[in-house]
Amino acid sequence: MSPAFEEVRLRLPHIELAAHLYGPADGVPVIALHGWLDNAASFARLAPKLPGLRIVALDFAGHGHSDHRPAGAGYAIWEYVHDVLQVAEQFGWQRFSLLGHSMGAIVSVLLAGALPERVARLALIDGLIPYTGEAEDAPQRLGEALKAQMALAGKRKPVYAEFSRAVEARMRGVGAVSREAAELLAQRGLMPVPGGYTWRTDSRLTLPSPLRLTQAHAMAFVQRLQCPVDLVLAEQGMLAAQPRFAELLDGRPITLNRLPGGHHLHLDDEVGAQLVADCFKAFLRSP
């Protein structure tokens, strides 16, 4: 598969991010957001199947070739929302659509709920709201997060003697993927080190969240959505397994598309990518 993208670096006021650019410069503006521990290669199969769009597929901060956040900073999900807004500002896009997978879908919903005047359309893949927590659990969660943060300095990333071993590890990781998908993610996500390869991702990404939104917080963002929303639900994915998932869609103006495949159905193979593209290509080009 020959890539049809341009590799760019975006110097934002607070951080430098990497991205892949797809499509014509005058295409419909879309920012594509990948899932946790993935990178811009998540859209390597899907983006070329969405003609007429100017797609900026980001590496989130701490992922892929983007900068890590500075020492002392964290990776709260709302910080990604700020990053995406700054990317839109860099391109001069006052209004744009979002194409998000998993965590990227969650970031998309938060931004569209917070600033509905900026987001034209949401195309979501197997993601909608973050894992939530209730008030009574907050002290224990913060304590566990602080302990994990203090212990992080003594931990080391895994080193794989061969590229293929890293690919196999990614196949078995969170949101298991096909070998081809794992290879695409690994090609962008690995870096050489003494003894083999390790992941570029910031180790702080694996820390537990010190604070989670409550269910009421999360639903407030969904309720405030004003733009059209098209959601792809993978039948063997992660979203369908969330408790009370049906309640999230009840009475909401969200178009639901159930498709066969796993959590990374848009990347696992060409068939899945085409099915997702068929859901989104006319939707994202609509005025």
**Superfamily of 6-135+213-285 according to CATH:** Alpha/Beta hydrolase fold, catalytic domain (3.40.50.1820)
Under a CB-based contact definition with an 8 Å cutoff, are residues 217 and 138 in contact?
Answer: no
Q: What mean pLDDT value characterizes the chain? A: 95
**pLDDT at site 157:** 92
Look at residue 3 in the predicted model and tell me its pLDDT: 53
Gyration radius (Cα) of the chain, Å: 18
Would you mind telling me the total number of residues written for the chain in this entry?
287
| Distance, CA of 247 to CA of 255 (rounded, Å) | 14
- Residue 211 CB neighbours (<10 A): 10
User: What tokens were used for 265?
Assistant: 């159905």
pLDDT single digits (tens) 203-248:
999 999 999 999 999 999 999 999 999 999 999 999 887 767 777 7
User: What is residue 164's predicted lDDT score, i.e. its pLDDT?
Assistant: 97
Six-digit token pair at 22? 């797809």
At residue 2, the pLDDT reads 43
Per-residue pLDDT tens over the stretch 75-129: 999 999 999 999 999 999 999 999 999 999 999 999 999 999 999 999 999 999 9
Q: Which residues are catalytic?
A: 102
Has residue 188 got a pLDDT over 90?
yes
| Distance of alpha carbon 22 from alpha carbon 11, whole angstroms | 19
For the chain, what are the domain ranges? Answer: 6-135+213-285
Quick: pLDDT tens for 240-271.
877 677 777 877 889 999 999 999 999 999 99
